[in-house]
Homo-oligomer: A and B are copies of this chain.
Amino acid sequence: MEKSIQTDGRLVLGVCYYPEHWDESLWDSDMQRMAQHGISVIRIGEFAWNLMEPRPGEFDFSFFLRVLDCARRHGLGVIFGTPTATPPAWLTQRYPEVLNAAPDGTLYRHGMRRHYNYNSAVYRRFCLRLIERMAQALCAHPAIVGWQIDNELNCEIDVFYSSADHDAFRRWLREKYATLDALNAAWGTVFWNQTYTDWSQVCLTRPTVSGSNNPHALLDEKRFISDSARSFCKMQADALRRYIPQSQFITTNGLFNHLDNHGMTQESLDFISYDSYPMFGYQRGAQADGLYDRRWAANLARVRSISPHFMVMEQQSGPGGWTSKMVLPAPKPGQMRLWAYQSVAAGADAVSFFRWRTAAFGTEIYWHGLLNYDSLDNRRIAELDTLRDEFSAIGERVAGSSFVASCAILRDYDNDFDTEEDQWVQPLTRHSETAWLLALERSHVPYDFFNLTDDTRPEELAGYELLICPHAPIMTQKRADALEAYVRRGGKVIFGARTGYKDLQGHCPMAPMPGALAWAGCTIHDFTQLGPFDPAGRVLINGREVEAPLFHDLLTPAQDARVLATFASDWYAGAPAAVLRELDLGWACYYGAALSEDAAYELLNTFALHCPADDALIIPAEVGFALREKDGHRLAFLLNYSAGEVSVGLCRPVKDLLNNPVQDDRLFLPAYGVALVELT
């Protein structure tokens, strides 16, 4: 079942609001102004436990009923958050076992947020009781349109070592492995005499010498954390669904690590939401990789892989930061609007800004909202007005239209979880994904992320011209089979180095690499990390020498494979670096290195991937491109991420729904400008 938001052919504007932060006398004027500036939905309540249960077992919803009445008066729909991300002091004081803990058992105390653990029976009991009371008290109110579960599950911290977690992990393992022998085999405990002879010996990560742990245990630990978060979410969703009408949706706002967001959405939510803060790409400490705020197009593509149409629950409006960390500059004039369109271009049909007015106290006084402390109209409100008018004009054409991708980058949680701890693979994955994103973004080749699982069917992949598998050490036979079937029916796939040598437990089976991908055109007879004193890695591809950093697989091509690239560095210069093999109607390619941007361009060229609008538009590299389609109408989003005016060449007359100036076959976009072109 497609897990998408339904907006009835509208592009929805929303805002996050914290009535508890302001004098009640301000609510009315605040909501009136919201409505006037185009806001139709607000999100509230997600940290306000004490306002509903000020003392254990004493429930009082009058505060929020007054808020809902006020919203109703101003025609605002309300998304109500369950406040489980911030347990009250009275709870954590009396039941410290509800707190999360560091690996050495040190409890994380009151004073921040997300300091609880998912597995405490006490905490689950308190949460469940409150949620049921909330649902009973509030769900009949006509202002309510949906519910948000908790807030940013696995944000701030994504590891859990409380006593309850250790116990639950042991139960989870018994469920999974049934016998200790099976666990010992799966974790390879015969290595370094780690064999368990009693279940009680098994724990989550604890302090160890060198801070190093069994890698297979770590992989299961992450799966367990994911299952814990999912189960906590499901408990809440199930409780809500016992009371709320079907017209009200349930969502939560992500995406965070150690969490199978696909599985969670499938089993518990109506759709996933996302919190989008592209200015993180420009903060102190951000990578100078050329993607900056444009990387958020990729982040949103990952959201879209879960929910083709989704909501941005928190869309950056102003400068961001905590008092204690994070220092984001102010968005430049136009960027707030640009990023809202970035979300819409990627599949968001609802965009809710964070937040109405900047907090006057607390850790987030620098996480600015639409309004500053002084509450006066400002340039952000002016951009909101522009969005209000534009969304009103284009909403019907855009909302519900589908993103059209030419290719997909394969991701899976097994490799995500395993690679995080694998210092041999992690740098490759990080480097190559950036290289692919740069090449795809600057070539204007629309891409999806695709969540590859053992259940993936070839027909799900058939729509893509190309699949990109950056580096996937874990490649099961089922996944390899699905990819082979996709290829034989005409698909193309590119595998990066270090793919296919691990099984689902992270073991390295006694088989030639790349294991289940034997059909991909080569075996790997040698390989090496590139050390800091090695010559810079180079590959010769399509007659051009490109960077080939970090790691090299030395390939023995299959007899019917063609050498696509050769190494141009170190003692194996001249040896095959990439092979291409035709399989029935399609092609497989194995590229034996980490990717540079230039290498990615050459591989896209090899497979003739290009911008699907290049019959109509000549788009400069600094402009982002996306395509949404509905009823045969194609709408091209053009997003100028640069600080200067740029122009897009027009091969034929087109219509820009956002009315940017056209002159001499050129469409002009101002700094941070956006165009929305009907391609027909």
Contacts and interface: CB of A to CB of B under 8 A. Distances in A.
Contacts of A325: 210, 212, 423
20 contacts: A47-B193, A50-B190, A90-B201, A109-B208, A111-B212, A115-B209, A213-B324, A214-B363, A215-B365, A282-B534, A292-B533, A319-B527, A323-B424, A330-B526, A361-B506, A365-B507, A365-B508, A366-B424, A373-B508, A376-B512
Contact of A531 (B188, B283, B358): B283
A570 B333 CA distance: 11
A460 B358 CA distance: 38
A674 B639 CA distance: 61
B332 A571 contact: yes
B213 A111 contact: yes
A209 B375 contact: no
B212 A363 contact: yes
A47 B191 CA distance: 8
A362 B188 contact: yes
Q: How large is the interface on A (under 10, 10 to 19, 20 to 34, 35 or more residues)?
A: 35 or more
A361 B212 contact: no
Given A112-B213, A362-B214, A197 B329 contact: no
A221 to B, nearest CB: 11
B323 A423 contact: yes
A319 B529 contact: yes
A284 to B, nearest CB: 5
Interface stretch (A81-89, A257-265, A406-414, A436-444): A81-89
Chain copies in the assembled complex = 3
Interface in A75-119: 83, 86-90, 93, 100, 102, 104, 106-115
A621 interface: no
A20 B374 CA distance: 63
Nearest to A507: B361
B332 A191 contact: no
Contact of A528 (B322, B330, B509): B330
Interface string A206-234: 11111111111100000000000000000
Given A110-B208, A188-B359, A191-B359, 5 more contacts: A21-B191, A50-B197, A279-B531, A330-B528, A373-B510
Main secondary structure of the interface of A (DSSP, over half): loop
A55 interface: yes
Interface string A181-208: 0000001101111111110110101111
Given A283-B531, A532-B284, A209 B112 contact: yes
A651 interface: no
A511 interface: yes
Given A193-B86, A212-B324, A109 B332 contact: no
Contacts of A205: 111
Interface in A41-80: 47-51, 54-55
B209 A534 contact: no
Contacts of A18: 191
A604 interface: no
A424 B20 contact: no
A102 B207 contact: yes
Interface string A294-327: 0000000000000000000000000101111111
Given A529-B328, A571-B332, A89 B197 contact: yes
Given A104-B106, A208-B115, A193 B50 contact: yes
A525 interface: yes
Nearest to A501: B373
A140 interface: no
A421 B111 CA distance: 15
Given A106-B207, A198-B90, A374-B510, A111 B214 contact: yes
A593 to B, nearest CB: 14
A528 B331 CA distance: 8
A185 to B, nearest CB: 9
